A and B are shown apart, each in its own frame.
Chain A
Amino acid sequence: MTVASQVKQTLATLKGARATLGMYTAQTGDDETQSVYTNSLEMTDNIISDLEDQLKTLEFEEPQYKGN
């Protein structure tokens, strides 16, 4: 497995986790919990965008594995 596909897998897991977190943010009734979840969502978004940028660099470096 190439580095790029490994990073892709991690990114997918993180995106899945972000979706679940988003669901809990929507359905929780407590304000404090909700604000913690919202904060976490922002943080996860930052990490996701960092990883996506890294993925672009990796695919630029190893174009032969692009799409794997």
Chain B
Amino acid sequence: MQEPLAVIIRSLSLFFLVWLSIRLIGKRNISRVKPFNFMSYIVLAIVATLMSLNLVNIISGFIVLLTWLVLPIALDYLSIKSEVIHQLINGKETVLIKHGKIMEENLIQLRLTGEDLLAELRSKNIFNLTDVEFAVMETNGELNAYLKSDKKPVSAHDLSQKVAPQAEPQTVIMDGNILNEPLFSLGLNQEWLKVELEKMGVALENVFLAQVDSSGDLFLDLFDDAVELPQPKVKELLYASLQKVQADLSTFSLQTDNKTAKGMYLRNSQKLQDLLDKLRPYLLN
């Protein structure tokens, strides 16, 4: 066999082999990969290169590939089973700040300077060291910080505000194609979508992206950005009309001289006010 042809065939088959091995090792972000797995990626790559250039014996090359494929997977399984092995392979996370104080000896152990620590914190958008209650260096080298309770971002819970639960929106049109699976998972179908599009006066071909939120409202983005779409404001309108009815009822209660009618208007106006308070988080968000 001619040499170039052999190289091509070897490269191609090794490409698929290495691709398969890396898929088998696992799905992880390459920048957050554990040092150990990183090593096996490199070994796999180098051995594959050497094999495709026929610089090493094919058989021994395969053995090396297999070893470096099986070992990380086996060790991953073992570290799931046993905490000791997990720590042995991946190391242990290091606490760098505790109760707002820097643990200098741990910094030295990681060979980090104070400036490194500050830089890591800044990359998390923390510029003031006094804001940090607790910070830990994970085994993959990432720094995670827990802020002091008065420096944490405000949540709805802090404001004792009720918010409506919201599930993730589903994308139902992508690049002008209707996606059936998300539609079905919402209990809707293509007919519904076509009717909604018709109501908005938009052709399916013109839709780049469409999402349905958990309350069933449809949001569109068109290819033609010059077209201004009415975004759904039905909930806001509903809230406003309920408010109007409530105000009307109060007015009636003031206008009428009839005792029973006055009582009825007042009672219902109060009921509607309660209703508005209850519906507010669901309708205005």
Contacts and interface: CB of A to CB of B under 8 A. Distances in A.
A24 B214 CA distance: 10
B256 A3 contact: yes
B238 A40 contact: no
B271 A43 contact: yes
Contact of A43 (B234, B237, B244, B275): B275
Contacts of A46: 268, 271
A28 B216 contact: yes
Nearest to B267: A50
Contacts of B268: 46-47, 50-51
Given A24-B216, A57-B261, A32 B165 contact: yes
B45 to A, nearest CB: 46
Interface residues of A, number: 30
A5 interface: no
B215 A24 contact: yes
Find the residue from B187, B237, B242 having the highest chain A CB count within 10 A: B242
A10 B269 CA distance: 12
Interface SS of chain B: helix
Interface string A32-43: 110011011001
Interface in B183-201: 186-187
Given A43-B272, A47-B271, 6 more contacts: A20-B237, A29-B186, A29-B214, A30-B167, A33-B165, A57-B261
Interface of A: 3, 6-7, 9-10, 13-14, 16-17, 20-21, 24, 27-30, 32-33, 36-37, 39-40, 43-44, 46-47, 50-51, 54, 57
Interface of B: 164-167, 186-187, 214-216, 234-235, 237-238, 241-242, 244-245, 248-249, 252, 255-256, 261, 264-265, 268, 271-272, 274-275, 278-279, 282
